[in-house]
Amino acid sequence: MRESATRTKILDVASRLFYEQGYNSTGINQIIAEADIARGSLYNHFPSKRDLLTAYIQQSEDLWFAELDKFLESINDPKLRLLALFDFRAEKQLRSNFGGCQFTKIIAEMPKDDLNAFELVRHQKERIKNYIKDLLQQIDLKQPQVLSTNMLIDALFLIMEGATSSASVYKHVEAIRTAKQIANELLDIEPVSQRSSL
């Protein structure tokens, strides 16, 4: 059974609108108008707006990592791949005109008791953390490190999350570029080397 073209069209339009306008600010009416389909067709494929949201988050996660793999495919060195993760997020923010992280954004709109939405978003975040972890384990880190490997994973993840958030607040890519520089320093510690310190 192949994917219905109608279903695909609905999900594509809804995904764009959910991200650009927010989930709560996007009405069924606008979705069916822009997808140019009937109200009944939407409810045939998605029993409720909530089901449409679930499909949106799941498909977005798949697309996100597919895009990432493509973005990194020409880079072999694990350290450069790790740093390019920041470029990837910068590029996505630039392209979306600084709409912020799709997943974090949804969470901000959901009531706290919506366990399903939180679970879906955590899934994507865990995948990012694992991505970082895998790359980090391929890197031959100098000894001694400022941060233990586990703390380094967390630090890189948190800096990346904070930078994406900050970029969308400031509508500027600077925070993500800075985050990349910080990551580079943290990954390239030569304890006794000369560094500007003030």
Q: Least separation, in Å, of the C-beta of 109 and DNA? A: 12
Q: What angle do CA 121, 124, 125 make, to 5 degrees?
A: 90
Residue 54 engages DNA in binding (rule: CB under 7 A):
no
Contact 31, 51 (CB under 8 A): no
Q: Which does 149 bind (CB under 5 to 8 A by kind): a copy of itself, DNA, none?
A: a copy of itself
Quick check: 29 binds a copy of itself (CB under 8 A)? no
Rule CB under 7 A: choose which of 8, 20, 38, 188 binds DNA: 38
Residue 32 zone, left/alpha/beta (φ > 0; ψ -120 to 50; rest): alpha
Phi, psi of 2 (to 5 degrees): -80, 160
> Alpha-carbon distance 89 to 102, whole Å?
11
Contacting DNA (CB under 7 A), which of 48, 58, 130, 149?
A: 48
Binding string, residues 16-35; x marks residues near DNA by CB under 7 A: ----------xxxxx-----
User: 110 vs 182, which CB is nearer to DNA?
Assistant: 110
For residue 41, state whether it binds DNA (rule: CB under 7 A).
yes
Least distance (Å) between residue 28 CB and DNA? 3
Using CB atoms within 10 A of its CB, is residue 38 exposed (0-12), middle (13-18) or buried (19+)? Answer: exposed
Q: Is 191 in the site for DNA (CB under 7 A)?
A: no
Tokens of 79: 């350290």
